[in-house]
């Protein structure tokens, strides 16, 4: 990195260092070690079976689908998938942890290494991964539902998670959010997680520290359970400012776990941070090592969809799109499929890209909908693009057609154009007649143009368009008018 770029990333002379831990809830129908369901929103304690409750004599049995999801992530991120990994007991006491320990992986995780690449503006960034390991979720303590008491809901106990851990490669809150968004896109794209942050399916913890350039890593504080990209940026920015102020005031940073309060915009310490030794990890005697045959990895690989980065590269080469367009259109499989259908059916790839990123996205955002809920099919959009390309309608008229299609006034583009009288005037004789009349009625303006004032030409074009009720083809107006003016 150049010194200039490095300097621009500094905050008050300090370098920000961030590592991420993300808990992705795996999209399995049952829990990681039991057959209890994982559906969200059920009445408290109605989805916890004897295994989840840790009743005496119960034994965990590994969920095969959860392992398949871990393999998918490893393949998507270019990681090493361990042929043999081990489950461990992570010991700590908390009321919503029935066994008094959590089954996780410690020394030998299932997914090792790998990386996530993304664009920040037009600059490509890469964050290296340490690992992704399988584990079970804990239950949930309900502190607000009972006056002076806490309730325990064990529905979530045993829900399968993949904890995805990065190296401390992230250098700003903007980079952290871009990384989290890219990882979110990947896990939803490959179908291993529904990505619903409000329901806790995708939760991020940010380990934040600051240091003077060239100095050893500073002491980190972990911001827990960031469940929105907006709060993520606010929390990290506040934490960075707080740590710098502490150091500048002569205080040492203590390793701690902190929570972000969206109402105050501040982080506050929850507890001093435990280290691995505090958890007294040891291999779980109830679970044999997890063995993954190469044939299983090959089987999962064969079922994998085309990944977003690969698809973006293909859209650039196959359709001649700019890198920015290709990256934007591969935000979700649904958006990419919508583009490809419209581009192929219309033969207008760049125009399809512009409309989807512009007009279609604007309307969806206004209605807080996603591309899966678009009321205009990709084939209908293609028919509209064809009518713009062949000069039947202008771009402005096309927006009026889209208004009608969006409002459900039929899906036949030609019928809408006809019904609204939006067809461009392609009769050159009729156009010449209008231009002659405009020139005759605006002789001073014609003289101004001939005297070298280009503004007069634009004004005449506007008058012709107005006289044609917007139906004249603007390019044709330009050509014929210039010819008649001798310009």
Instruction: Compute the mean pLDDT over every residue in the chain, rounded to the nearest whole number.
Output: 91
The answer on pLDDT for 351 being more than 90 is yes
Report the pLDDT value the prediction gives residue 276, as an integer from 0 to 100: 62
More confident residue, 173 or 274: 173
335, 371 contact by CB (below 8 A): yes
In a 10 Å sphere around its CB, with 0-12 CB exposed, 13-18 middle and 19+ buried, how is residue 373 labelled? Answer: exposed
pLDDT at res. 407: 92
Residue 401 and residue 416 in contact, taking contact as beta carbons nearer than 8 Å: yes
Residue 7 binned pLDDT confidence (cut-offs 50, 70, 90): very low
Q: What number is the average pLDDT over the span 3-17? A: 72
**Cα(212)–Cα(215) distance, rounded to whole angstroms?**
6
Pairing of strands 221-226, 149-153: unpaired
Secondary structure tally for the chain: helices H, strands E: 17, 17
Q: In 10 A of CB 336, how many CB atoms?
A: 23
Name the residue among 87, 77, 273 with its Cα closest to residue 165: 77
**Hey, what are 182's tokens?**
């890219």
Q: Which two tokens stand for residue 124?
A: 């490509």
Q: What are phi and psi of 481, to 5 degrees?
A: -65, -45
- Cα Rg of the chain (Å, integer): 30
First CA to last CA distance, the chain: 53
Q: Are 192 and 73 a contacting pair, CB within 8 Å?
A: yes
Among 225, 103, 88, 99, which residue's Cα sits nearest to residue 154?
Answer: 99
Whether 425 shows a pLDDT value over 70: the answer reads no
- Name which of 221, 180, 219 is nearest 203 in CA terms: 180
- Write out the H or E segment, with its range, that includes residue 224: strand 221-226
Lookup result for tokens 């004004």 = 459
Q: Could you identify the residue written with the tokens 């996530």?
A: 116
Judged against a pLDDT cut of 70, whether residue 48 lies above it is answered with yes
pLDDT reading at 1 higher than 60: no
> Closest Cα to residue 187, out of 256, 114, 136?
114
CA distance 437 to 449: 17
Q: What is the pLDDT of residue 4?
A: 43
Lowest mean pLDDT among 181-195, 296-310, 455-469: 455-469
pLDDT at site 185:
95
Decide: pTM greater than 0.85.
no
Percent of the chain with pLDDT over 90: 71
Query: In terms of Cα–Cα distance, which of 133, 116, 136, 114 is closest to 125?
Result: 116
pLDDT per residue as tens digits for the range 115-140: 999 888 878 899 999 999 999 999 99
Rounded alpha-carbon distances, angstroms, from residue 357 to 306, 318, 406: 21, 18, 16
Band (2; pLDDT cuts 50, 70, 90): very low
Query: 248-262 burial string, b = 16+ CB within 10 Å, else e?
Result: eeeeebeebebebee
């Amino acid at each position: 990195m150049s010194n200039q770029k490095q300097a621009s990333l500094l905050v008050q002379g300090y370098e920000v260092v961030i590592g991420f831990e993300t808990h992705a809830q795996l999209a399995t129908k049952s829990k990681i070690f039991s057959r209890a369901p994982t559906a969200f929103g059920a009445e408290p304690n109605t989805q916890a079976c004897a295994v989840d409750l840790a009743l005496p004599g119960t034994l965990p049995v590994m969920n095969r689908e959860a392992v398949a999801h871990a393999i998918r992530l490893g393949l998507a991120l270019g990681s090493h998938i361990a042929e043999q990994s081990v489950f461990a007991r992570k010991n700590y006491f908390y009321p919503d942890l029935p066994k008094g320990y959590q089954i996780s992986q410690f020394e030998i995780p299932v997914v090792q290494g790998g990386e996530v690449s993304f664009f920040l503006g037009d600059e490509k960034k890469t964050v290296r991964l340490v690992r992704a390991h399988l584990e079970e979720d804990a239950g949930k303590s309900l502190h607000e539902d009972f006056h002076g008491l806490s309730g325990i809901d064990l529905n979530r106990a045993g829900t399968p998670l993949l904890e995805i851990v990065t190296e401390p490669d992230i250098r700003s809150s903007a980079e952290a959010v871009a990384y989290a968004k890219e990882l979110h896109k990947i896990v939803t794209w490959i179908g291993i997680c529904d990505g619903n942050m409000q329901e806790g399916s995708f939760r991020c913890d940010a380990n934040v520290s600051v240091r003077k350039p060239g100095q050893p890593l500073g002491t980190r504080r972990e911001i827990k359970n960031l469940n929105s990209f907006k709060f993520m940026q606010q929390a990290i920015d506040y934490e960075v400012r707080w740590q710098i102020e502490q150091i500048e005031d002569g205080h040492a940073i203590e390793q701690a776990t902190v929570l972000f309060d969206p109402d105050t915009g501040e982080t506050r310490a929850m507890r001093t941070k435990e280290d691995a030794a505090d958890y007294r990890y040891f291999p779980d005697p109830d679970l044999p090592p997890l063995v993954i045959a190469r044939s299983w990895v090959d089987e999962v690989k064969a079922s994998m969809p085309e990944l977003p980065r690969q698809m973006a590269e293909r859209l650039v080469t196959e359709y001649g799109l700019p890198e920015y367009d290709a990256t934007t259109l591969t935000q979700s499989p649904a958006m990419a499929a919508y583009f490809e259908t419209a581009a192929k059916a219309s033969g207008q790839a760049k125009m399809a890209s512009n409309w989807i990123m512009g007009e279609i996205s604007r309307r969806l955002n206004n209605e807080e909908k996603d591309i899966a809920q678009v009321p205009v099919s990709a084939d209908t959009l293609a028919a509209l693009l064809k009518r713009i390309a062949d000069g039947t309608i202008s771009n402005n008229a096309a927006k009026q057609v889209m208004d009608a299609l969006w409002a459900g006034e039929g899906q036949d583009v030609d019928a809408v154009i006809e019904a609204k009288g939006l067809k461009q005037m392609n009769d050159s004789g009729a156009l010449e007649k209008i231009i002659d009349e405009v020139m005759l009625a605006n002789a001073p303006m014609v003289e101004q143009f001939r005297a070298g004032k280009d503004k007069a030409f634009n004004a005449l074009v506007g008058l012709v368009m107005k006289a044609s009720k917007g139906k004249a083809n603007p390019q044709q107006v330009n050509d014929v008018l210039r010819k008649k003016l001798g310009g």
